Amino acid sequence: MTTGERAGRKDVDRLGSLFLLGTGLPFYLLLGGNGMKKVAVIMGSDSDWPQVKAACEQLKAFSIPFEAHIMSAHRTPETAAAFAKGAREAGFGVIIAAAGMAAHLAGAMAANTTLPVIGIPMKGGALDGLDALLATVQMPSGLPVATVALNGAKNAAVLAAQILAVEDAALAGKLDAARADMAAQIAGKEAKLQAELA
Ligand code: RP5
């Protein structure tokens, strides 16, 4: 295991400790949740965590309650299917699923729930993620997976927030504020460029 993988594993362990602290009310208080639906962040391996943690950071920034778990469409198929089948009942509103190579995790989640599923194809392996991208995005008709870019963990979290914000005006306000921040940053960069050209 590389140093990066070890660091990622520690973060996953710390997240695991958070879940132990409270699967109910204390967990919501800890992450600033307000009763809104939770987001599930599922990854196929701990080797995905260094990239996937950006989704968790973005969810935290929006104060969206979430759980992160490692489960695999191939290595732990029963666990993954059971999680997806019980996700709505467990209070989840969106599932994010990240996997690389023969990336069937998001599709396996979608096969077992009608909650919206967002797939993150992970870069890596002999084909450097093209295989994961196609496996995640090319779902059969009637079973969609909303697929973000390779390693697009942050966008997966933003899309999950946008889905939850359909019924949550406060969260919609946070999304508007984030857009305004982005526009202000671009305006600053444009001003800097024009100053340099003048
Ligand atoms: C996928 O295989 C995982 O999601 C990961 O992206 C990839 C490699 O997994 P490890 O061999 O590093 O556990 O299932």
71 and 106 share a domain?
yes
Q: Which of 101, 127, 136 to mutate to test the pocket of ligand 1 (most atoms within 8 A of CB)?
A: 101
Element (H, E) at 121: strand 117-122
158 and 177 share a domain?
no
116 and 190 share a domain?
no
Residue with the larger pLDDT of the pair 19 and 179: 179
Ligand 1: does its nearest atom lie under 6 Å from the Cβ of 113? no
CA 178 to chain centre: 18
106 and 85 share a domain?
yes
SS3 content of the chain, % helix, strand, coil (to 5): 55, 15, 30
Give me the pLDDT at residue 34, please: 62
7 and 31 share a domain?
yes
Give the residue numbers spanning the domain of 180: 169-198
Angle value at C-alpha 156, between 126 and 82, nearest 5 degrees: 80
- The sign of the CA dihedral 82, 84, 86, 90 is positive
130 and 192 share a domain?
no
DSSP string of 31-47, one letter each residue: HT--SPPEEEEEES-GG
134 and 64 share a domain?
yes
Whether pLDDT at 152 is above 70: yes
Q: How much distance in Å is there from the Cα of 122 to the middle of ligand 1?
A: 9
Q: Per DSSP, what are the bridge partners of residue 39?
A: 66, 94
Q: How much distance in Å is there from the Cα of 137 to the middle of ligand 1?
A: 18
91 and 28 share a domain?
yes
Q: How much distance in Å is there from the Cα of 118 to the middle of ligand 1?
A: 18
For residue 147, which of 92, 106, 191, 93 has the smallest C-alpha distance? 106
Whether pLDDT at 21 is above 80: no
pTM above 0.95, yes or no: no
Domains in the chain, number: 2
Query: What CA–CA distance (Å, rounded) separates 161 from 30?
Result: 18
